Structure 1
Amino acid sequence: MKLLAHILGLCLALALTDADHHEHHDHHDHHAHHAADLDRCEGMEMDAVAVNEEGIPYFFKCDHLFKGFHGKAELSNETFAELDDHHHLGHVDAAFRMHYEGQADHDHMFFFLDNKVFSYYQHKLEEGYPKDISEVFPGIPDHLEAAVECPKPECDEDSVIFFKGHEIFHYNVRTKAVEEKEFKSMPNCTSAFRFMEHYYCFHGHMFSKFDPKTGDVHGKYPKEARDYFMRCSKFSDNSDHVERERCSRVHLDAITSDNAGNIYAFRGHHFLRKDEGNDTLKADTIESAFKELHSEVDAVFSYDDHLYMIKDEQLYVYKVGEPHTHLDGYPKPVKTELGIEGHIDAAFVCEHGDGAHIAHFIKGNHIYDVDMKASPRVQKNERPISLFKKVDTAMCGPGGVKVIVGNHFYHFDNVMLFVASRALPEQHRVSLELFGCDH
């Protein structure tokens, strides 16, 4: 209750600050202060959640917005400028992204505030908005609590599901027909969103995965939102570390597989290890196995029975073993040790084949090679990657290269095909197909 009171007080403080907007133009410092108070890792109830056109989730709280799975709050009106013009309370009741090919509103984001709806396309307010909810979505009530898009065949027709208390409305996008449903097994949603073809109902700082047609909740729910949709250093006491890390929707920072085929995957303050020929996963803090690193690595690659770990401008090297041994004299600057500079998004070595001593480094949409046997080591063979503007991480094993972007990975038989490909190969889910998550 203490936390709830704090958040309610905070929203009120933000609202009061916002109400002063037209009288005082120096209120930004107040907002910055309050944004600092909004710590999603403390556990909070979001007002609304929606995924933007690039697949990045936006979490709304009061008149602030969290983009993605980590990072600080920012003012909602910095991204969606007109949200404050009509409603000085500065909150969002519900939000969703219309995602139906062929519809005029495809990829538009809709926000609901009291009795009004705002439609944005590429962060610009559409002409004529805001409008009354009843005009744009006839049959849907005001003061909603949540909304989520539901395309065919996940729903019988291309639909939007609206939530208000116990009332659930399926709105047919094409015919504008409204069907009222009863979702008996689901708690009242304070926000909802569709992510990787699954549907999530948030209630407080917990969430449940539900069937959009029936509202049925299968499996062990509710679960803690911080464990799966945010990158936090501390988790609830009853958090199952392995379950959380294998099923987290937060993108990986780094991944590698060693010569024996064991996979190491790093995210925030934790890492997962999956041993070759064994489906058992182990999860632990980075601090426990790589204490010199502490947490949050940028890139990791395996070479010659060592793990090369890059964090900022520094390189750490560990000999693979039980436990891993940190080599004396490290960390050393990445530039002097590897001959490469600037922020590195991903690194990997294909140890099975002709280029077994070539380390590949990805920075933005370019890839570079470094010969690990050369002295001194220098970056060479720069070439553009046509398929991706940015990757999160990548690894190479006997089967080829796996490139991870967000929650998905793509398989290429070799580095040359990865660099030269013009068409995306089949998309695979990281949590499901790399780590065997069942939800």
Structure 2
Amino acid sequence: MTQLFLPLCLASLVLVFTRAAPTCAGIEFDAITPDEKGNQLFFKDGYLWKGFRGPAQLSAVSFNQIGHVDAAFRMHREGNTEDHTEDHDHIYLFQDEMVFSYYNQTLEEGFPKKVDQVFPGVPCHLDAAVECPKGECSADSVLFFKGSEVYHYDVAARTVKTKTWPQVPPCTSALRWMEHFYCFQGNNFTRFHPVTGVVGVGYPKDARHYFMTCPNFGHGGDRQLPKCSEVKLDAITSDDAGKTYIFTGSHYMRLDTIRDGMHAFPVKRMWTEAAGGVDAVFSYQDKMYFIKGDQVYIYRLGAHYSLIEGYPKTLLEELGIEGTVDAAFACAGEHTVHIIQGDQMLDVDLSATPRTVTKVKRLLTTKVDAALCGPDDVKLFVGHTYYKYNNATAIVHNQFLPRPYLITPSMMACRMQDELRIPS
């Protein structure tokens, strides 16, 4: 099967620099931050790179009045009107003793200002800064780094706590990406917990293996995304938190992370026991069900997914069915999972004990790879195409297959080709 995803350092996260670019032998950014659209911005010596490819430009071309940048972050404060979130999605750039606030790359009136005027208790001449939204920190916060000290700033309360994290080295720049936090120092980076400062095993790591293209390092070079015509999903589902995941081979991708870019990771990173690929996945009542062969793994939704004690169990024991499964989906607010096996769709009542098949109906296609029930429709994925239905009932009541739609780069990481056509 053709792999849709690249490993952690996939093409969309690979940096290719030209014009005044730091070399792979000694790369060290002054600051890194996403903009309000999710494009990563990299600052170095008065220059700016937008995104992961392309030439540099003077920082002042996009952010007027700015030269070199010591630290940068994008404010995250969605909240509601009582939370005073008028600064949500603003970009803050720090230069010596001053801070600049931009919205849509336009400098706000009254800026620049002294750092402590805007962020009381935060020192000037910072080394790095990174946003920490509520849920990842106890409240919407910003982490400021200077030397060996970390200033944890509560945005709403406008208070700061100074911490020393012995496991985190001095940061030259910091980045929040895919709900993880990274401290960069030269060629190296360290992933840390934003509340405790605890560092995972195996850090620091060389950024050239993950975050940039360098000869003879990691997954750099001329690796390209596969053609959209090569796409073949194994499974797709949305959990109760609104996160949508697709699975192919031993990797998965979150599709709701457009602000951070869409990136692929090994399945074992999130669901250790389900590593190596899955046949079908569906979500039901804060749980995610993985079907691998004749085994069912159930994970409980939380800060991290955790396998429920006693699992895996057999398909027969858990869902009352036997044989291989091609796809499965469950619609939000309903208690039925629809299991697709060849040209049949089996309905299983998840509220019953024991669970048994309540309906079996014939499908018009026998090649379904994955299925997803969303808020507006149900999609059945077949190769690099998919079919849309108003609901699960329409799948078996239609006398003819609806017209297929193409999977495109806007949906997932693939590249469109001119010769791509809807199959007859």
TM normalised by structure 1 equals 0.49
Identity %: 43
SS of corresponding position for 1:120: strand
Q: Higher relative CO (CA 8 A, sep ≥ 6), structure 1 or 2?
A: 2
Q: How does 1:45-56 map to 2 (within 5 A)?
A: 45-56=28-39
C-alpha displacement at 1:416, in angstroms?
3.7
SS of corresponding position for 2:189: strand
Q: CA RMSD in A?
A: 4.0
1:152 is matched with: 134
C-alpha displacement at 1:55, in angstroms?
1.2
C-alpha displacement at 1:67, in angstroms?
1.5
1:399 is matched with: 370
Distance, in Å, in 1 between the alignment partners of 2:234 and 2:74 is 44
Distance, in Å, in 1 between the alignment partners of 2:153 and 2:266 is 44
1:170 is matched with: 152
The structure-2 alpha-carbon separation of the partners of 1:278 and 1:151, relative to structure 1 and needing over 3 Å to count, comes to closer
Runs of 4+ in 1 over 6 A off after TM superposition: 258-262, 271-274
Q: How does 1:124-143 map to 2 (within 5 A)?
A: 124-143=106-125
Distance, in Å, in 1 between the alignment partners of 2:234 and 2:157 is 57
2:286 is matched with: none
Deviations 1:186-241 (A, max 9, x none): 110110011111101001121111000111111211112232222x15243xx4x5
The structure-2 alpha-carbon separation of the partners of 1:253 and 1:215, relative to structure 1 and needing over 3 Å to count, comes to farther
Aligned residues: 246
Deviates more, 1:210-219 or 1:111-120: 210-219
C-alpha displacement at 1:397, in angstroms?
6.4
Paired residue type of 1:115:
E
Of residues 257, 266, 279, the one that matches 2:276 is 279
Distance, in Å, in 1 between the alignment partners of 2:180 and 2:65 is 31
Whether the aligned pair in 2 keeps the contact of 1:146 and 1:163 (CA below 8 Å) is yes
Whether the aligned pair in 1 keeps the contact of 2:28 and 2:186 (CA below 8 Å) is yes
The structure-2 alpha-carbon separation of the partners of 1:233 and 1:93, relative to structure 1 and needing over 3 Å to count, comes to closer
Distance, in Å, in 1 between the alignment partners of 2:76 and 2:93 is 14
Paired residue type of 2:33:
A
Distance, in Å, in 2 between the alignment partners of 1:129 and 1:153 is 30
1:71 is matched with: 54
Distance, in Å, in 1 between the alignment partners of 2:224 and 2:160 is 37
Distance, in Å, in 2 between the alignment partners of 1:63 and 1:99 is 25
Whether the aligned pair in 1 keeps the contact of 2:190 and 2:204 (CA below 8 Å) is yes
The structure-2 alpha-carbon separation of the partners of 1:234 and 1:272, relative to structure 1 and needing over 3 Å to count, comes to farther
Distance, in Å, in 2 between the alignment partners of 1:124 and 1:48 is 19
2:101 is matched with: 119
Whether the aligned pair in 2 keeps the contact of 1:111 and 1:119 (CA below 8 Å) is yes
SS of corresponding position for 1:229: coil
The structure-2 alpha-carbon separation of the partners of 1:272 and 1:208, relative to structure 1 and needing over 3 Å to count, comes to closer
2:6 is matched with: none
Q: How does 1:348-427 map to 2 (within 5 A)?
A: 398-400=369-371, 412-414=379-381, 415-417=386-388
Whether the aligned pair in 2 keeps the contact of 1:150 and 1:159 (CA below 8 Å) is yes
**Residue 93 (str. 1) matches residue 74 (str. 2):** no
Q: How does 1:291-306 map to 2 (within 5 A)?
A: none
Q: How does 1:223-234 map to 2 (within 5 A)?
A: 223-230=205-212, 232=213, 234=215
Paired residue type of 1:176:
R
Distance, in Å, in 2 between the alignment partners of 1:143 and 1:125 is 20
Bigger fraction of residues in helix? 1
Of residues 189, 200, 223, the one that matches 2:171 is 189
Paired residue type of 1:37:
A
Whether the aligned pair in 1 keeps the contact of 2:250 and 2:275 (CA below 8 Å) is no
Paired residue type of 1:68:
G
What stretches of structure 1 of length at least 5 have no aligned partner?
1-33, 84-89, 266-270, 281-351, 354-395, 402-410, 421-427, 431-439
C-alpha displacement at 1:278, in angstroms?
8.7
SS of corresponding position for 1:221: coil
Distance, in Å, in 2 between the alignment partners of 1:397 and 1:176 is 53
C-alpha displacement at 1:65, in angstroms?
1.0
Paired residue type of 1:152:
K
Paired residue type of 1:279:
G
The structure-2 alpha-carbon separation of the partners of 1:108 and 1:272, relative to structure 1 and needing over 3 Å to count, comes to closer
Whether the aligned pair in 2 keeps the contact of 1:95 and 1:148 (CA below 8 Å) is yes
Distance, in Å, in 1 between the alignment partners of 2:265 and 2:182 is 25
Distance, in Å, in 1 between the alignment partners of 2:99 and 2:369 is 52
Of residues 80, 83, 89, the one that matches 1:107 is 89
Whether the aligned pair in 1 keeps the contact of 2:143 and 2:151 (CA below 8 Å) is yes
Whether the aligned pair in 1 keeps the contact of 2:250 and 2:276 (CA below 8 Å) is no
C-alpha displacement at 1:413, in angstroms?
2.4
Distance, in Å, in 2 between the alignment partners of 1:199 and 1:272 is 16
**Residue 201 (str. 1) matches residue 183 (str. 2):** yes
Paired residue type of 1:93:
D
Whether the aligned pair in 2 keeps the contact of 1:151 and 1:159 (CA below 8 Å) is yes
SS of corresponding position for 2:101: strand
SS of corresponding position for 2:169: coil
Whether the aligned pair in 2 keeps the contact of 1:45 and 1:190 (CA below 8 Å) is yes
C-alpha displacement at 1:35, in angstroms?
5.9
Whether the aligned pair in 2 keeps the contact of 1:110 and 1:118 (CA below 8 Å) is yes
Paired residue type of 1:234:
P
SS of corresponding position for 2:53: coil
The structure-2 alpha-carbon separation of the partners of 1:175 and 1:120, relative to structure 1 and needing over 3 Å to count, comes to same
Whether the aligned pair in 2 keeps the contact of 1:39 and 1:72 (CA below 8 Å) is no
Whether the aligned pair in 2 keeps the contact of 1:56 and 1:68 (CA below 8 Å) is yes
TM normalised by structure 2 equals 0.51
1:179 is matched with: 161
The structure-2 alpha-carbon separation of the partners of 1:36 and 1:139, relative to structure 1 and needing over 3 Å to count, comes to same
Deviations 1:148-198 (A, max 9, x none): 111112112211110000111001101111101111111101100111111
What stretches of structure 2 of length at least 5 have no aligned partner?
1-16, 236-247, 252-263, 268-273, 278-341, 344-366, 373-377, 390-401, 404-410, 414-424
